[in-house]
Structure 1
Amino acid sequence: MDHSQMDHSKMSQAKPRQSNARKPAAGQPVKDQSSMDHSGMDHSQMTMPVPAPAVPAPMSQQQPMQGMDHSQMDHSMPRQLDSTKPAGEQPAKDQSGMDYSQMTMPPSAQASSGAKPQQAMTHGTGEAMGSMQMGPMQGGKAPADARDPNAYGEGTRHAKLPGNAMMDDMPFGRVLIDSAELSRGDGEHGQNLDAEAWYGGDYNKVWLKAQGERTGGRLESLRTEALWDRAFAPFWSTQLGVRHDTGGGGSRNWLAAGVRGLAPYWFDVEATAYARPGGEFAARFDARYEVLFTQRLILEPQLEGNLYSRADRGRGTGTGLSNIEFGLRLRYEIRRQFAPYAGVTWNRRLGSTADLARARGEDATTFRAVAGLRLWY
């Protein structure tokens, strides 16, 4: 306890605390405290001494607080309360009399405590907070003298420039003759054709296909399709349209629905289902892959299969999986648009289709050598 702060002038005027104990009557001796009988004392009326409140040390003797800039603090005499103001509007003070309403936290202390910097943070009354002026906010209308955003183009507005950009709706097309070849094997020779063409944009195309086989001067089969191609995912599209078959009897028409795309590991895959009046169904599967020995020398294996729900003696097809054909062609691209090739094909008829072939005196399995050209433009 710092006795230097005590007022000794008032100590002499302080009255001693009155005791509730009865004073001894006149003429009775006063007992010593050590021999006082406590059995008759009323403890409920006793009061414990209250320690005096601790008086903080002067500011000059206090330890500096970490992170606080004492150069911004007001060490002058504590301000007196304004008697003209109500008690609720008096500035907040602690026991030492310091006025914290005008204190501001330095930027270094704000950074260490995580607080956002403020220009003049006050903890005064609501009137002071309401009188704070906010800085300029973003948004709103541009000034009248603002620069035109199109002024850099000297008045030129945005417009389409044909031929200078590949837009999603820009149409383009291609014609591909994948194989125009001569075939020879088992004492027979013939010609085969596999071609396709399409025209349209990135998402919608018109697709035409043609595949036929001619043997011994007679058209064995010719399949033509007209399809609408619609992209639904990267490298994949659906195909809807019609199919027309000729050769080997009367013509036949089918409705076609399938999918075509580039499978993982660069397999070119095509699967199509067909239906015609009377409840007849068919399906076709085709898969190809390119093995690049060099940028010009390319080996292309191909696997194709056909399936029918009904037998067609005119065309020599039975029910179920009718045939599987495997081809292997090696081409040399003199140019990308012009590539001669040579290869072999193996065709195996299955099930009732093989029975129909044997009934006509034909073999169920044929092996042929082929040579031809691959063209596109």
Structure 2
Amino acid sequence: MALRKALLPILLAAAPVPAWGQDHAGMDHSMMDMSANEAPADQPGDAPAPLPPQDHAADRVFAPERMAASRSAMIGEMDFSTFALQIDRLEYRAANGKDGFGWDGQAWYGGDIDRAVLASEGEGTFGDRAERIELNAYWRHALDPWFNLQLGVRHDFRPDPRRTYALIGIEGLAPYWFDVTGQLLVSEKGDVHARGKAGYQQRITQSLVVEPEAEVDFAFQDAPALAVGSGFERLELGARLRYERNRSLAPYVGVHWERKLAGTARLARAAGEDVSGLSAVFGFRAMF
């Protein structure tokens, strides 16, 4: 008897229950139109954006004056100065019977915003005096994340006679990753010159980098003492393939071509000098 009472609830639960059909004919479907055209949509508002929070979470736990001092110290630690020496080019130039050399490098001290820069550039042929020796000293100030202002002086040790120029320029990273520089120079004699540079570094593999570049000088007037005519003075074009396994010292090979232009070329021909030259280059780039 007790067993029957125990099995009775189980049998009732397992018994089939008749399904009652639903008659939809009497239902009102007029309120069930879910057309996308009539669906509610959020409309953009014209309320001003909320102000950024002015408080600091740590001030709720620690004394605000102590946290203000800590934040000031942290900002000061981020504004540090460094020293670096970068030799962009130090190379041997193999030409037809007139092998030569060239260099381009700079050293700086400072931070991300302001730096003191000492830069030098020059070239020459073996067995003769250097044809061009330039020394630049300027202050570099970051105008934005991409471009810097240059303000300083340039002194030319060669060619003779020596000249000192006031220098103002812009350098930076242009769209499509072109390194560009533009400078305006005024000498103590009053002659005005300009220089433009552009270069691009294309990584072929993890270790191989090809770097084409161009440099052009322009004179706003004749400078007979410097054998320079008004207009474009000279043009340099080059391409170098660098093996950069270690960025601190990277050898390269390439080609270098330069040509004197316009009035400067005419003066060079009158003096019996070559107006253009092509050379194979071998050198290295270094950073310390």
Give the TM-score normalised by structure 1.
0.56
CA positional deviation for 1:360: 2.5
Q: Is the 8 A contact 1:168 1:201 kept in 2?
A: no
Unaligned runs of 5+ in 2: 1-58
CA positional deviation for 1:317: 2.2
Aligned to 1:344: 255
Asked if residue 366 in structure 1 is aligned to residue 277 in structure 2, the reply is yes
Partner AA of 2:261 in structure 1: L
- In structure 2, distance between residues paired with 1:185 and 1:166: 52
- In structure 2, distance between residues paired with 1:373 and 1:350: 29
Q: Is the 8 A contact 2:133 2:159 kept in 1?
A: no
- Could you report, residue by residue, the CA deviation over 1:258-296 in whole angstroms, capped at 9, with x for unpaired residues? 101100111000000001234310000011100110121
Q: Is the 8 A contact 2:179 2:198 kept in 1?
A: yes
- Could you report, residue by residue, the CA deviation over 1:93-120 in whole angstroms, capped at 9, with x for unpaired residues? xxxxxxxxxxxxxxxxxxxxxxxxxxxx
Aligned to 1:199: 109
Is the partner of 2:130 in helix, strand or coil? strand
Among candidates 190, 203, 213, match of residue 123 of structure 2: 213
Aligned to 2:170: 259
Partner AA of 1:328 in structure 2: A
Asked if residue 232 in structure 1 is aligned to residue 122 in structure 2, the reply is no
- In structure 2, distance between residues paired with 1:275 and 1:334: 41
Asked if residue 169 in structure 1 is aligned to residue 79 in structure 2, the reply is yes
- In structure 2, distance between residues paired with 1:185 and 1:335: 29
Aligned to 2:33: none
Greater gyration radius: 1
Partner AA of 2:96 in structure 1: D
Map 1:69-218; keep pairs closer than 5 Å. 149-150=61-62, 159=70, 167-217=77-127, 218=129
Aligned to 1:223: 134
Asked if residue 306 in structure 1 is aligned to residue 217 in structure 2, the reply is yes
Is the partner of 1:183 in helix, strand or coil? strand
Q: Is the 8 A contact 1:195 1:209 kept in 2?
A: yes
Which deviates more from structure 2 when the two are superposed, residues 181-190 or residues 252-261? 181-190
Aligned to 1:318: 229
Is the partner of 1:159 in helix, strand or coil? helix
Is the partner of 1:318 in helix, strand or coil? coil
CA RMSD of aligned residues (A): 2.4
Aligned to 2:4: none
- Cα separation, partners in 2 of 1:156 and 1:204, compared to 1, 3 Å: closer
Asked if residue 244 in structure 1 is aligned to residue 138 in structure 2, the reply is no
Among candidates 188, 202, 206, match of residue 277 of structure 1: 188
Partner AA of 1:256 in structure 2: L
- Cα separation, partners in 2 of 1:166 and 1:367, compared to 1, 3 Å: farther
Aligned to 1:9: none
Unaligned runs of 5+ in 1: 1-146
Partner AA of 1:283 in structure 2: A
- In structure 1, distance between residues paired with 2:245 and 2:75: 30
Q: Is the 8 A contact 1:150 1:157 kept in 2?
A: no
- In structure 2, distance between residues paired with 1:161 and 1:231: 22
CA positional deviation for 1:169: 2.4
Aligned to 2:3: none
- In structure 1, distance between residues paired with 2:280 and 2:271: 23
Partner AA of 2:122 in structure 1: G
Aligned to 1:20: none
Q: Is the 8 A contact 1:247 1:315 kept in 2?
A: no
Is the partner of 1:250 in helix, strand or coil? coil
Identity %: 37
- Could you report, residue by residue, the CA deviation over 1:200-239 in whole angstroms, capped at 9, with x for unpaired residues? 1221111111001121331101111111111111111111
Is the partner of 1:370 in helix, strand or coil? strand
Asked if residue 330 in structure 1 is aligned to residue 241 in structure 2, the reply is yes
- In structure 2, distance between residues paired with 1:262 and 1:365: 30
Partner AA of 1:214 in structure 2: G
Which deviates more from structure 2 when the two are superposed, residues 305-314 or residues 321-330? 305-314
Aligned length: 227
Higher RCO (CA 8 Å, separation ≥ 6 residues): 2
Partner AA of 1:194 in structure 2: D
CA positional deviation for 1:312: 3.5
Partner AA of 2:180 in structure 1: V
- In structure 1, distance between residues paired with 2:170 and 2:204: 30
- Could you report, residue by residue, the CA deviation over 1:139-187 in whole angstroms, capped at 9, with x for unpaired residues? xxxxxxxx97228xxx99953799x888552112321000010112131
Is the partner of 2:236 in helix, strand or coil? strand
- Could you report, residue by residue, the CA deviation over 1:38-97 in whole angstroms, capped at 9, with x for unpaired residues? xxxxxxxxxxxxxxxxxxxxxxxxxxxxxxxxxxxxxxxxxxxxxxxxxxxxxxxxxxxx
